[in-house]
Amino acid sequence: MKPTSLITLCLALSAIGLRAEDKPLLAVPGAVIYESKLDAAPGAPWKAAKGKWELVEGVVRGSELEADKHGAVTRLPNKLQDFVIEYEFKFAGARTTSLSINAVKDHMARISITPKSVAIQKDDNDHEGPDKAVVFARFSTELAPGTWHKVRLEMVGDLMLGQVNELVAWGASDLFKTPKMAPGFTVGGQSVDFRNLSIREATQNPAWEEVKAKLPKPGEKVAPAATPKGKGKGKKKAA
């Protein structure tokens, strides 16, 4: 990178208040689209499709309801283009949670999280073929219940980057060039707590090629998917 480009980037980061340790990955965050500490009872603009969403000990808690026969889901009605989403979560008994992004029709992408794994993926966009889900990376990990963990999702152009704590992976798809819709949380089981959500506009990091060279290539880090305890061969449709 040229010295003038580096100076420009540093000034831009200073202007938006990024800390020194928050070095850009795929994207440089810009103007705020939506921001909330998630410290109030769930309501507009959120739309809860399934499950129970409530305020518990000053943060939003999502729980699956057995009667729904579907994971808990709540979404914002926003239409997005290039963006960065950040928030924190902690497991309070649930078996899985995700940050999900929809396409105009059906699903687009998600970061899927269990207490023992993190997956960054493009979702199946038609469910009847020929499109299929593509897991860019699945990491084995240990996410202790009752502990806050940080999630970051960046989407710019045809690229996606997901991060949970120190685990980072990226991937690309032409589907990502289309409008992104309805960012939301999902919860399988009971329960997951959420706080400190922000969604910002984004531009691609000028140093992305250098960053990318230090990250695993799509498909390079894909640990076997764990089978949830007490579940049969059937598979729930993604929320």
Whether residue 61 contacts residue 29, with contact meaning beta carbons closer than 8 Å, is answered with no
Phi, psi of 142 (to 5 degrees): -130, 105
Question: Each residue's pLDDT tens digit in the chain (239 positions)?
Answer: 444 444 444 444 433 334 434 689 999 999 999 999 999 999 999 999 999 999 999 999 999 999 999 999 999 999 999 999 999 999 999 999 999 999 998 999 999 999 999 999 999 998 777 889 999 999 999 999 999 999 999 999 999 999 999 999 999 999 999 999 999 999 999 999 999 999 999 999 999 999 999 999 999 999 998 765 544 444 455 57
230 CB contacts (<8 Å, ≥6 apart)? none
For residue 49 the two structure tokens come to: 């499709």
In this prediction, residue 3 carries a pLDDT of: 47
In this prediction, residue 169 carries a pLDDT of: 98
In tens, the pLDDT along 39-62 reads 999 999 999 999 999 999 999 999
Amino acid identity at 94: A
Pairwise CA distance, residues 120 & 139, whole Å: 9
In this prediction, residue 22 carries a pLDDT of: 66
Phi, psi of 176 (to 5 degrees): -70, -15
DSSP per position, 141-188: ----TTS-EEEEEEEETTEEEEEETTEEEEEE-GGGGSPEEEEEEEEE
Contacts of 209-214 with CB under 8 Å at 24 or more apart are: 210/1, 211/24, 211/25, 211/26, 212/170
Look at residues 190, 170, 217 and name the one whose alpha carbon lies nearest to residue 71. Answer: 190
Look at residues 159, 179, 198, 170 and name the one whose alpha carbon lies nearest to residue 81. Answer: 179
Whether residue 220 contacts residue 137, with contact meaning beta carbons closer than 8 Å, is answered with yes
Q: Which H or E run contains 211?
A: helix 208-212
Sort 215 into a burial class: Cβ within 10 Å, 0-12 / 13-18 / 19+.
Answer: middle
Per 3-state DSSP, what percentage of the chain is helix, strand, and coil (rounded to 5)? 10, 45, 40
Give the position of tokens 């699956």: 64
In this prediction, residue 171 carries a pLDDT of: 98
In this prediction, residue 225 carries a pLDDT of: 85
List C-alpha distances in Å: 7 to 1, 2, 13, 29, 74: 10, 9, 10, 17, 41
In this prediction, residue 231 carries a pLDDT of: 44
Domains of the chain and CATH, by start: 29-222 (2.60.120.560)
pTM for this entry: 0.87
In tens, the pLDDT along 10-50 reads 444 433 334 434 689 999 999 999 999 999 999 999 999 99
Beta bridge partners of 83: 155, 201
Give the position of tokens 């998630």: 38
